[in-house]
Amino acid sequence: MKLTQSADRISLNQDQTAPTIPPAQIAEREAKSIFQTYTRQPIYIVRGEGAEVWDASGRMYLDFVAGIAVNNLGHCHPRVVQAIQKQAQILIHTSNLYYTENQVLLAEELKQLTGMDRVFFGNSGAEGVEAAIKLARRATGKAGLVAAVGSFHGRTLGALGATYKSAYREPFRPLNEASFVPYGDFEALKSAVTRNIGAVILEPVQGEAGVHVPPPQFLKAARQICDDAGSMLIFDEVQTGFGRTGRWFGKEHSGIEPDIMSLAKGIAGGLPMGAMLARGDAAAAFQRGDHASTFGGSPLVAAASLASLQAIRDERLVERSELLGSYLRSQLEKLDPIQVRGLGLMVGLDLKASASEVVSLARERGLLLNATGDHTLRLVPPLVVSQEQIDRGVQILGDILSI
Ligand SMILES: Cc1ncc(COP(=O)(O)O)c(C=O)c1O
């Protein structure tokens, strides 16, 4: 086979979305070859554009899951696609043994957007959290962690120790486990943050728990409590970052600054990237050799991230998230649910009905939704979603809830 043929194959694959594996075989072949850690919805997605995806039979779905709050720019945003294509022809990966331009440009932009002083690049949310926990330990010399009831910080061993759901932690003990305090409970937080606590880790809005916005002043109190105890305050902004809550970062609703932040999900237009940022003393705590990632901040992913930050700015997606988020919540209120919560386009909905049944019925009607609890849905559509698409999604949900 000539070398040129693989290039021909690549351009052919870009045009055709008919899959190689027949739809009737996908689930069985997946079950035989992939660790069975996921409960997948029975849909075989082959293409996406904006807030819509298509399955292997050509059926279109409105996507209010957005890769679990990753595709803030929608699927295959043209500027991200173009940046990936351009960079892929020049340099894809070199490792962090060398300097590359995109990584430095991206770090400078992230510093400017967040007000932090330094950035470490990884490849996922959990890696951002791991780096944050390690940095807090390095900065304070203290291993104790406090996290919130309902928290989700990832599945690697460090992040898992700070993740609330005991079913996730139980099979993997011993872990460095956090003490968990009710999200929003000032007094409980104060009592938990003793002198041996190196860090308090909090989501500015809890995501996996079903979208919980903290009571006013809670994050400000957390700042004070950490200052008094000599502990680092980590904000896990993996889900709340990049316009999701109607601000660039969830922390902006609280008016306070954490010492350390973790970022991922919406950072690179759908490509895998995670980051940990820190300011002040924490930013000076890591020494050479303290942490590393082979792939972290690769030229390709950093190019996608730079393009997506530019698109968020140019298309005013942060403002759009705030406006459309309020609109979505007001329309959902009309469906008479138990409760609608959220900030921007990060929305939680408590129902009387079974959330997993609603997810199935919605999927059959062409709407992708995510259940975070028995009676709780999380809606995190792409920030590029249109008002018409929101109306269509709410209509489908309304039809189901009125059955
Ligand atoms: C707040 C938060 N932190 C960390 C993570 C873990 O991210 P990842 O799955 O990319 O490791 C998630 C994932 O949902 C998250 O929502």
Write out pLDDT tens, residues 100-112.
Answer: 999 999 999 999 9
| Over residues 203-225, mean pLDDT | 97
- Domain check: are 162 and 231 in the same one? yes
Question: Residue range 282-303: average pLDDT?
Answer: 98
- Which residue puts its alpha carbon closest to atom 8 of ligand 1? 125
Does residue 6 register a pLDDT over 60?
no
User: Does residue 163 sit within a domain?
Assistant: yes
Which two tokens mark 48?
């996406």
Q: Which amino acid is at 128?
A: G
The helix (run of H) or strand (run of E) holding residue 146 is strand 144-148
203 lines ligand 1 (CB under 6 A): yes
Q: What is the pLDDT of residue 3?
A: 40
Q: Summarize the confidence of residues 212-238 as an average pLDDT.
A: 98
> Residue 101 sits in a domain of what CATH number?
3.40.640.10
Please indicate, yes or no, if residue 72 is contained in any of the structural domains.
Answer: no
Both 105 and 223 in a single domain? Answer: yes
Cβ–ligand 1 distance for 247 under 6 Å, the answer no
Residue 9 has pLDDT above 80, yes or no: no
Q: What is the pLDDT of residues 149-202, one digit of tens each?
A: 999 999 999 999 999 999 999 999 999 999 999 999 999 999 999 999 999 999
Asked if residue 321 and residue 308 are part of one domain, the reply reads: no
Q: Are residues 7 and 125 in the same domain?
A: no
Instruction: Please check whether residues 250 and 388 belong to one and the same domain.
Output: no
Tens-place pLDDT, residues 122-162? 999 999 999 999 999 999 999 999 999 999 999 999 999 99
Model confidence at 403, pLDDT cuts 50, 70, 90, reads confident
Span from the CA of 154 to the centroid of ligand 1 (angstroms): 5
Position 376 pLDDT exceeds 50: yes
At residue 16, the pLDDT reads 60
Region 33-62 average pLDDT:
97
59: confidence class by pLDDT, cuts 50, 70, 90 = very high
Same domain, 308 and 334: no
Instruction: Give the 3-state secondary structure percentages of the chain, helix then strand then coil, rounded to 5.
Output: 40, 15, 40
The answer to whether residues 268 and 358 belong to one domain is no
Is 207 part of a structural domain of the chain?
yes
CA of 7 to the centre of ligand 1 (A): 35
Is residue 71 a part of any domain in this protein?
no
At residue 370, the 3 state secondary structure works out as strand
Q: Give the chain's domain count.
A: 2
Same domain, residue pair 245 and 136? yes
Q: Is the pLDDT of residue 14 over 70?
A: no
- Which of 314, 345, 375 terminates a domain? The answer is 314
Best mutation site among 155, 164, 265 for ligand 1, i.e. most ligand atoms within 8 A of its Cβ? 265
Q: DSSP class of residue 266? A: G
Average pLDDT taken over every residue of the chain = 95
The pLDDT value recorded for residue 400 is 98
| pLDDT above 90 as % of the chain | 95
Atom of ligand 1 nearest to the CA of 265: 10
Separation of 396 CA from ligand 1 center, angstroms? Answer: 28
| Pair 259, 353 in one domain | no
Domain end point (choices 267, 294, 314)? 314
Domain around 124 = 81-314
Give yes or no: residues 111 and 167 share one domain.
yes
Q: Is residue 74 part of a domain?
A: no
> What's the Cα-to-Cα distance from 161 to each of 143, 150, 173, 180, 264, rounded to whole Å?
12, 13, 9, 10, 19
CATH code, domain with 41: 3.90.1150.10
Q: Provide the percentage of residues in the chain whose pLDDT is more than 70.
A: 96
Q: Decide if 70 is inside a domain.
A: no
* Tokens encoding 253: 């609703």
Query: CB 100: neighbour CB atoms within 10 A?
Result: 17
pTM as predicted: 0.96
Say whether both 125 and 24 belong to one domain: no
Please list the active-site residues: 152, 236, 265
Per-residue H/E/C for 164-177: CCHHHHHHHCCCCC
| Per-residue pLDDT, 227 | 98
Residues 150 and 173 in one domain: yes
pLDDT at 7 over 90: no
Is 237's C-beta closer than 6 angstroms to any atom of ligand 1?
A: no
Q: Is the pLDDT of residue 383 over 50?
A: yes
How many CB atoms sit inside 10 A of residue 21's CB? 12
| 75 domain residue, yes or no | no
The C-alpha angle with vertex 11 and arms to 9 and 15, in degrees rounded to 5, equals 110
Last residue of a domain, one of 314, 344, 364: 314
Does residue 339 sit within a domain?
yes
